[in-house]
Structure 1
């Protein structure tokens, strides 16, 4: 996890061609989740790993809506793994940022969404700055079909 300024300019040469990109707010989270799932299925990703990845992404999108200014942007590409970035437009996270390593108690004030995303995705990286929070999730992808 790294704090610092966020870089909003992403090029295909840095990450590979985008498979999916969209903006979301509280009203659009479910529609974006469905479109993302269709995109992942079209890319050959399925089964329990698909469910885990979509659930992790949904948790981060929901956090962006609840705690990060009410809206965000999502981008997905295939590199060595499937990689998804969710960027919100909030004021950033309080320092220091700690993603819980054990399941938060039900009475805890927050932390369940990031904990669940960490449990379900192969990698989570969180960057916080004055322009918002960027969360990058990665999941091992199946080999490309020839």
Structure 2
């Protein structure tokens, strides 16, 4: 999934129950509402729904702020989990730069918050860009915040 192209911010569905979108800052609010509807339709409710939607919002916002102003996302229900992957083509960041619990005075809380609000968060560093994958179970409530897992090199 690459970044958004000019005029390519429309939302689309790749498969039933899946959502794919390229986005810019102006698309994030509408995309957040679509994510909430899809997540609720796949069994998330209450605090787990709110937590997942907020985590996705934080990662979308990070992609715009730090990833060159555009990004792309895919949200789908796989094996009892809601899986959201957000990709950008920005300069990326050093592995481990935000994996610890140190919080800067202003900003810098998006990854930490997303990690705490979902069952897992995986970061894949590319050249250029970053992919973030969030997972939350729809099968039954699980403790959230299991931590950031680096992607396995392929």
After TM superposition, the score normalised by the length of structure 1 is: 0.77
Q: Is the 8 A contact 1:103 1:112 kept in 2?
A: no
Instruction: Structure 2: state its 5+ residue gaps.
Output: 3-14, 141-154
Q: CA deviation at 1:72?
A: 0.6
Please report the RMSD computed on the Cα atoms of aligned residues, expressed in angstroms: 2.2
* 1:86 matched residue in structure 2: 86
How many residues align? The count is: 127
Counterpart CA distance in 2 for 1:92 and 1:100 is 14
Instruction: Structure 1: state its 5+ residue gaps.
Output: 1-7, 10-15
Higher relative contact order (CA 8 A, sep 6+): 1
Q: CA deviation at 1:103?
A: 5.5
Counterpart CA distance in 2 for 1:92 and 1:103 is 19
After TM superposition, the score normalised by the length of structure 2 is: 0.74
Q: CA deviation at 1:97?
A: 3.0
Deviations 1:37-58 (A, max 9, x none): 1111222221110100111111
- 1:18–1:87: structure 2 CA closer, same or farther, 3 Å change rule? farther
* 2:137 matched residue in structure 1: 140
